[in-house]
Structure 1
């Protein structure tokens, strides 16, 4: 049973109301965990990782290991004045950060987070799960456009336009590469994709190598990782908010709680990208000894660490180079991978 069904079965009532309450409670628990993960990884972990890559000390004065910087930053940002520039399109300006944040949170509704204490921590498991998660994640592009054009700022407008160009160039290769996984698994249902990776690919010296699609089709895995970097706006693909060129791009005019929402959406999208990669290429929550939920979190944090490494080690490309890489590189390679996968599946 899904997490929603488990909670619903524990209620003294049944029917649509019980399903609604079960879904609301399950969603609240998963969102609470994600918020905690963002607080630790986005505020404290990001500083520590970047400092390690650049040979610096980072935060160490606020509490043990500097962990209280999370509280200090939260108080600092939320207590700042919310400055609304003159001439903004207020409804779109207000809704932009909310659209970006909610689109990432919606994607986690179908992610199989694994088992913990005998509970299956997956809120829903629709048959078109992979299509759903791609569709909800892409809604963030609408929020970026809203934030960019509504801010009445040329730098914000440029950032919004760059974001649209980037998402168009890299979202197609991302989805096409994901379709190659669907050809192997024979299903869009995420639980089925995870189950299809549970078999043994090869056994070496008594060690069983699982048939994770990262091993079965490493070319698709690399393509997806690169496209995901562009989707989450990490180096070398962070031109929509390039500070050396356009201040902070689409988020230039946001402050206080609105800036927190922009920052939150950025990291939730990184974790959503990591969850998708873990699900369709790394066996989902599968792993020895530890509970599935723990393995899923480890894999998501592994992808997060990779994005932070890219942020510290890889220089930003120009906007024309970014578009060329997407349309003239990844697009062709993703379709070539799809055709090759279809041939292999057909022969098998």
Structure 2
């Protein structure tokens, strides 16, 4: 699969081996395109779609007065939040406190660098692509910990410690479950994982069922979706910023543009989780009739809709229950799935 910088270079007439300046320019243009797309999706999801979806689930009326369908609330919220005074509490550790809000959106955007979003819409395709995604996405925990610790606030500190405990308890099952997909695909390269799902699994009544790994191994798919809920902090696992207990957790002492960055990072990570699910289990950008980028966006929005449904319908569990489910349930099931997948792959091979 051709990467986006190579495609841009070819459009400029330099082919697949351009001069260094063209290569750098193509990479920057490609990165700007992907970042703009993701920031636009997050801008729609946070101020507008989140409210509309939650209102639909809870039988209420959401934003409807600001522009058609309330869409201008996106601009209104941006102006309102960015124009607020940035208050720096006494006693904060300034370098860590200032750096923390930038780590969350940065780690999510960096994770999208190796995700194929359509035919030729992929910034890079390293051989260890899926390992790279998990490595950079986990940097978000550093931002949460830095923000909580540096805020000089006990509620913020408790929220960051909960985030660490939650990440450790659920990221291991997440990675182990992804390893079972790597066994099925025979590669860590993201494009190879997507290509391995391009065959037909079965034909039922003339309908071709694709060999998406979500159909091949629905148990692993369910495990991964559940663990992803914990990683993106959605119910029943939103313990790191539980308002009823921690005011707002790790982001309590943040306002203005810093709060916007935390909020943006949260939704970017939800979309990154959806992108990983789509890539590992739903064939990536594959789909009939429509362009791949359309199918890819539809799949990550489907995951976003599921997370918002959980936020509205599923009650929050206690922190001790969260840890117990992660270590005694998800970890055991993920390793059982890995062993079973290895046995099946070994027998077939």
Answer yes or no: same fold by TM over 0.5: yes
Tell me which interval the TM-score lies in, with the shorter structure as reference length: over 0.9
Q: Mapping of 1:1-348 within 5 angstroms?
A: 1-11=2-12, 14-115=18-119, 120-348=120-348
Describe the SS at the equivalent of 2:114.
Answer: coil
Looking at structure 2, the residues matched to 131 and 322 of structure 1 have their Cα atoms a distance apart, in angstroms, of 25
Q: What is the CA distance between 1:200 and its match in structure 2?
A: 0.6
Segments of structure 1 that go 5 or more residues without pairing to the other structure are: none
**What's the RMSD between the two structures over aligned residues?**
0.9
Spell out, residue by residue over 1:201-229, the C-alpha distance to the aligned partner (whole angstroms, 9 max, x if none).
11100001011000000000000000000
- 1:76-131, CA deviations, whole angstroms, 9 ceiling, x for partnerless residues? 0000000000010000000001011100000000000013xxxx111111111100
Deviations 1:132-155 (Å, cap 9, x if unpaired)? 001010011111110010000000
TM-score by length of 2: 0.97
Deviation at 1:11, TM superposition (A): 4.3
Superimposed CA distance per residue, residues 210-251 of structure 1 (whole angstroms, 9 cap, x where no aligned partner): 110000000000000000000000000000000000100000
Aligned length, in residue pairs: 344
SS in structure 1 of the partner of residue 81 of structure 2: helix
| Cα offset, 1:12, TM superposition | 7.0
- Aligned counterparts of 1:294 and 1:203: Cα–Cα separation in 2: 25
Distance 1:15 1:126 in 2: 21
| Gap runs ≥5 in structure 2 | none
Q: How far is 1:15 from its partner?
A: 2.8
CA distance in 1, matches of 2:276, 2:21: 30
Q: TM-score with structure 1 length normalisation?
A: 0.98
SS of 1:46's equivalent in the other structure is helix
Q: What CA distance in whole angstroms lies between the structure 2 residues aligned with 1:294 and 1:305?
A: 16
Task: Work out the CA distance in 2 between the residues paired with 1:135 and 1:78.
Answer: 31
Q: Deviations over 1:252-282 (max 9, x none)?
A: 0000000000000000000000000000100
Residue 241 of structure 1 aligns to a residue whose secondary structure is coil
For 2:310 and 2:93, how far apart are their aligned partners in 1? 35
Give the secondary structure class of the aligned counterpart of 2:240. helix
